[in-house]
Amino acid sequence: MTLEKLIEGNENFKNNKFPALEEELLNLVKYGQSPEIMFIGCSDSRVTPDLMLNTKPGDMFILRNVGNFVPPFKHDEDFHGSAAAIEFAIAVLKVKHIIICGHSHCGACKSLYEEIPDNDSFIHIRTWLKLGIKAKERTLKNKKFTTAEEMYRATERNSIRYQLDNLLTYPDVVKQLEAGEVQIHGWYYDIATGAINYYDKENDIFKPLSEMKI
């Protein structure tokens, strides 16, 4: 994909796709957005929420970052982009569902097993990857793998478990959850097949999304 292709793509969008969406987008401009779903996904270029879920503008409030990690709640005067997005989704948009969607072949989870260069070019990456340490520890403790690739897949799923735990450190999320105003979900997207599994917390396993009870 080149910059020229992006320019061509926008022309194609304006001329061929935008007209079908124009009325809906104008209503979103006039009345504002009101998505019921917040989608927390990875920045990985192979993860494409709108394609994966066949959604339209206004359907989902999307947060993307490295590894779809959720930093735990911390009240200070630093800059917390992910926390600000979560707060906005809960307090302003009043979403009904928050989905943390991990994926296969995740570079962030694989990096947990690699040596990160100790220089300023990776200073924020090294800190951010600490959010995946518990997933690595659980994976190595359970030893439910025989190859490195199986270890990475297990780590990706375990990370979703712990990112859900981190989400529950946000007071407003817990408050809305206890009031029945919001539900939280852990999903796992397989890049190689397009399939999504959901986390069944009660049984601590991942199941096909088509079996999820609404």
Percent with pLDDT over 90 in the chain: 98
pLDDT at 171: 97
User: Domain of 148?
Assistant: 35-72+79-211
What is the CA angle 108-113-116, rounded to 5? Answer: 75
Question: Which among 195, 205, 121, 123 has a CA at the least distance from the CA of 157?
Answer: 205
The CATH number of whichever domain residue 174 belongs to comes to 3.40.1050.10
pTM, full prediction = 0.96
Is residue 182 pLDDT above 90, yes or no?
Answer: yes
Q: What is the CA radius of gyration of the chain?
A: 19
25 in a domain, yes or no?
A: no
**Is 14 inside a domain boundary?**
no
Q: Does residue 62 fall inside a structural domain? A: yes
Q: Is residue 24 part of a domain?
A: no
88: left (phi over 0), alpha (psi -120 to 50) or beta: alpha
Query: What is the number of structural domains in the chain?
Result: 1
Residue 9 in any domain: the answer is no
| Residue 26 maps to a domain | no
Q: Which residues of 175-213 are buried (b: 16+ CB within 10 A; e: fewer)?
A: ebbeeeebebbbbbbeeeeeebbbbeeeeeebeeeeeee
Q: Which of 204, 171, 174 is nearest to 186 (CA)?
A: 204
**Is residue 20 in some structural domain?**
no
Residue 214 has pLDDT above 90, yes or no: no
- pLDDT digits 0-9 by tens, 69-112: 999 999 999 999 999 999 999 999 999 999 999 999 999 999 99
pLDDT single digits (tens) 105-155? 999 999 999 999 999 999 999 999 999 999 999 999 999 999 999 999 999
Give residue-wise pLDDT tens across range 2-15.
Answer: 999 999 999 999 99
Asked if residue 21 belongs to a domain, the reply is: no
